[in-house]
Each structure stands twice: as C-alpha cells, then as structure tokens.
Amino acid sequence: MNPIYSKNLPNLAENIAKSVAIALAEDIGPGDITAQLIPTEQTAKANIITREQCIFCGKAWVEEVFRQLDPRVQIIWYVEDGQNAAANSLLFTLQGSARSLLTGERTALNFVQTLSGTATISKQYSDQVAHTGVKLLDTRKTIPGLRTAQKYAVACGGCHNHRIGLYDAFLIKENHIAACGAIEKAVAAARAIAPGKPVEVEVENFAELDQALAANADIIMLDNFSIDDMKKAVAINAGRAKLEASGNINEHTLIPTAETGVDYISIGGLTKHCRAVDLSMRVS
C-alpha cells in the first residue's frame, strides 16, 4: 500500500483485511472442490498480466488475499500502485502451492481489475484538466463495501477524495435546507453540532449562492450550473468560499467546466462507471 495515496483514508489496512475476508468467504465457501483435483504437494508459478494499458492499483489487496489464504505463497512485484502498466505487461508473479494459487486467483484479480479500472479512469480525467488548478473529486457513489478501496484507487489515478462518508464533513442539500428553514440556519446548526468540520452547501441558483456566501459556508456546490453561470458564480464569489461544480460532468463538459475557475469538480463516474481492466493469470 502506497502511503502517498492512503494518508487521508482512515483504517485502510483494517478495511482491506475485512474486504478480503468477505471476498474469500463468498468464493470459497466450505471449500474449493476443483482445487482438490491437484495434489497437495504440487507447486506452481503464475504470471499475472494486463491485456490492456492501465494505471495499476490493488497491491495490498493481493498481498492480503494470500496472507489470509496461504502465507507461504511468494509474490514478486513488477509494478506499484499508481504506475502505468502497458498492455500485455507483467504485473506480478506468484509462487507456491498450486492449490493456493488457483483458489486465490479470482479474488485477487477481482480486486486488481476493479481498482485498476477506477485508477485508470481517474487518470484519464485528471490528465485532461492538468493545465488548470482544479481538483477532481470522487463522490459517495461507490461499490457497496468498497468505499475506501475505490477512494484509494481514485487517488492513485491523480484525483482527490471528497468526504469519505456522512461523518467527516457536512453537505447541506435541498432537503436539509427545507428541514432547517433556511441556508443560514442549516449552516449555523452545522457549526454548533461539529465545530471544525467542513461545511458545504449545495445551491441551485444565484439567490441561494448569495445566501450560502452570507452564511460563510466553507464550500459551495454549484449544482447543474451552466458554463456561463459558473463563470458568473466565480466572479461573484471572489475567493470567499471554495466552489465545487457538480452534475452531469462528462468528457465533453469536463474541460470547459475546469476552465471556469471553480476550485473543485465532483464526478460520480470515477467510481460508479468504472470498467474492470482485463487481466490474465498464466500458470506454469
């Protein structure tokens, strides 16, 4: 696990251990009956390659799979998290019990293919806006049970993490505002409940933007603002709060949005639309 990418993620090692245990249990169940065809003493070597270019992610998950399954398995690494891997390149080699290699194969590769897919799309997006000062953020639209893992992968791809969950920052939306009675009241209540926690307010028009600025929100999310309206919002804000663009950001609107001068762009597609990387394990 690369500390560069994991420094802002709480309990990552603990989450990895739990995720791997669940994944192994659902795959192996009471036992791998196909692996029993292989003599217990037989050893093997397995090379894992990627069939397509990707940003690799998932080293710690692979290591945890074989730590829990069979700690005698040796892993030789040829790539680190966050590094580019060319198509048909060797990612890592496994050596040990043939039964263990085959039993752990799918679980290990499932983590790598998913997290590398997340890291790869994050890198594609981050490269497109490298000429601006904007930070691309993930969201809570993650695969259930893999929140921390996917947020780690997003960081590997050069993007950034929004709040981890419902506990580490306020995001005051339309329904919260309605329940509290006004943006000012919602922000004041948030400051009282958890002093020091970031307070973000989602706004849908310029009247709400003015109210959020008057309430001294730390971050203001511009929900589905047009490009021209985002430019106007940046001018109105004049650096008083951080501005985050959100809503229907895609490959066509990303660069124009980044060039408006907003501080952040949140993109649910970094985690919810990721496509698994095509991997292969060859045993000898």
Q: What is the pLDDT of residues 223-257, one digit of tens each?
A: 999 999 999 999 999 999 999 999 978 888 999 99
Q: How far apart are CA 73 and CA 136, in angstroms?
A: 38
Q: Does residue 5 carry a pLDDT above 80?
A: no
Domain of 188, CATH number, reads 3.20.20.70
Number of domains composing the chain: 2
Domain of 56, CATH number, reads 3.90.1170.20
Residues 259 and 278 in one domain: no
Render 166-221 in DSSP notation, one character per residue. Answer: SSSSEEE-HHHHHHHSSHHHHHHHHHHHSTTS-EEEEESSHHHHHHHHHTT-SEEE
Which pLDDT does position 132 carry in this prediction?
Answer: 97
Residues 231 and 168 in one domain: yes
- 179 by Cβ neighbours in 10 Å (0-12 / 13-18 / 19+) ranks as exposed
Q: What is the CA radius of gyration of the chain?
A: 22
How many Cβ atoms from other residues are within 10 Å of residue 149's Cβ? 25
Q: Does residue 194 carry a pLDDT above 80?
A: yes
Residues 209 and 122 in one domain: no
Is residue 133 a contact partner of residue 259, using CB atoms and an 8 Å limit? no
Q: In the structure, what pLDDT confidence band is assigned to residue 97 with cuts at 50, 70 and 90?
A: very high
Residues 74 and 190 in one domain: no
Which pLDDT does position 8 carry in this prediction?
Answer: 76
Query: What range does the domain containing 167 cover?
Result: 160-266
Active site residues: 106, 141, 173, 202, 223
Residues 24 and 68 in one domain: yes
Which pLDDT does position 251 carry in this prediction?
Answer: 81
Half-sphere exposure of residue 41: CA atoms within 13 angstroms, side-chain side: 0
* Amino acid (one-letter) located at 75: I
**Domain annotation covers residue 148:** no
Residues 181 and 103 in one domain: no
Q: What is the pLDDT of residues 101-126, one digit of tens each?
A: 999 999 999 999 999 999 999 999 99
Q: Does residue 86 carry a pLDDT above 90?
A: yes
Which pLDDT does position 1 carry in this prediction?
Answer: 67
Residues 116 and 210 in one domain: no
Residues 248 and 279 in one domain: no
